[in-house]
Each structure stands twice: as structure tokens, then as C-alpha cells.
Copies of this chain bind each other. A is one copy, B any other.
């Protein structure tokens, strides 16, 4: 079997480094997320998730603030999960300590994986990844909004299976909408209505304590 250091010789080592990165990223197809697909009925992997975000960026571009660079958003969503080759996927509903451990693991992964590329590209792609993580630019905020919205859409399509498996209630899902609103006011409004409907449809459990502050916003009277 050919290994990454056995590419045929060519003009410079540059293409070889780029192909090492491309081959390493292939492993993302084996990283399973917490999102349950319906057809096929299995967990989603991070590579196909990243593709779905890129498709959403194309289809929903008009909901980003005017002037947002679609090309930059596409680059971000394509690259954002490459670090999971080392760090794996963590549920968005994991607790703060687990999130902190994940963040540290992802930073170490970014150091290792982007360094497979030639130095100029390593720097360029790392900057794209950092921008996504830092969530300061319009592009990053829109990309992050899509990254939050995509599993919600899948969870609704799967009849709430992933929510039940993780014991997640509406208040915890609603807490994640703020980040969608931050990237796109219209998609944020939509996500809020989607969750309200999921509760009404009985596929997402309401907050355990009626009167919880988060849930009050979503489902008055519950």
C-alpha cells in the first residue's frame, strides 16, 4: 500500500506536501458526529457534514450580511472540521469542561495537520481555521451559524432521535440559537421557530423545569 511519503517524484516537494494534507484529511470520513441521518439511517461523518455546510452556504448565501465573501465562507466550512481527524467530534451539547478539553485538542490538531502543507499554505489555511474559531468576521459568523443550523435541520428530519439519545431538551437547543442569530438574523429567527415547532410536534422535550428562562422565550405558556 502506498504511504503519503511514496508519491512519485516531481518538480518540487511542494505538491507532495499538499497531497499529504489531502490524504490526511481523508480520515475525516471516518469521524462520526452525533447527528443521526435518516437515509441512510446512520450517524453522519464530519466530511459529509462539511460538504453539506458548503451546499447550505451556496443555497442560503443571501441571508449573510451584505458584502460577506461567499468564497471565504466556503473555504471555512470546508476546512473547519479537519482538526477532528485527531480530536474527534464533540456534541454541541457537551458540558463546559468537555468543550475546553476539545478546544485544546483541536488547537494541537491544527498545529499538526496544517503543518503538513507547504509553510505559506499552512499559514493561510490556519488563518482561515482560526478565523472560523474566533467568530469575529461576518464570514466566520455566517459559517458558524450554518454549522449550528445544519444539525438542527437533520435532527428535525430524524424525528428528534439524536435529541432523545443525548437527553437534550428544548432549553438547551434554544441556547444554541443565539450563535445562529449572530451570523444571520433571518436564519436565527427561523431556527427559533423550528425548535418551537419541534416541541409542539412532540419530537423535542420541553425544558425540565417549566418557567426556565430560556424556554420562556421559545414557548410562552409552557
Which of A94-102, A137-145, A152-160 forms part of the interface with chain B?
Answer: A152-160
Instruction: From B1, B37, B45, B190, give the contact of A26 (CB < 8 A).
Output: B37
Chain A 16-44 near chain B by CB (<8 Å), digits 1 or 0: 00110111011111100000011110001
Residues of B within 8 A of A219 (CB): none
Bound-complex Cα distance A2 to B160 (A) = 9
How close is A168's CB to chain B, nearest CB, in angstroms? 17
How close is A64's CB to chain B, nearest CB, in angstroms? 13
Bound-complex Cα distance A71 to B75 (A) = 9
Instruction: From B8, B78, B158, give the contact of A51 (CB < 8 A).
Output: B78
Evaluate contact between A29 and B37: CB separation under 8 angstroms.
Answer: yes
- The SS class assigned to the A binding surface is helix
Bound-complex Cα distance A37 to B4 (A) = 15
Copies in the complex: 2
Evaluate contact between B37 and A190: CB separation under 8 angstroms.
Answer: no
Bound-complex Cα distance A154 to B19 (A) = 11
The residue on B at minimum CB distance from A117 is B59
A47 sits at the interface (CB 8 A):
yes
Bound-complex Cα distance A10 to B21 (A) = 42
Evaluate contact between B1 and A55: CB separation under 8 angstroms.
Answer: no
Task: Choose among A71, A82, A154 the residue with the greatest number of B CB atoms under 10 Å from its CB.
Answer: A71
A115 sits at the interface (CB 8 A):
no
List the interface of chain A (C-beta within 8 A of B).
Answer: 1-2, 6-11, 15, 18-19, 21-23, 25-30, 37-40, 44-45, 47-48, 50-52, 54-56, 58-60, 63, 70-71, 74-75, 78-79, 82, 117, 121, 125, 153-154, 156-159, 186, 189-190, 193-194, 196-198, 201, 203
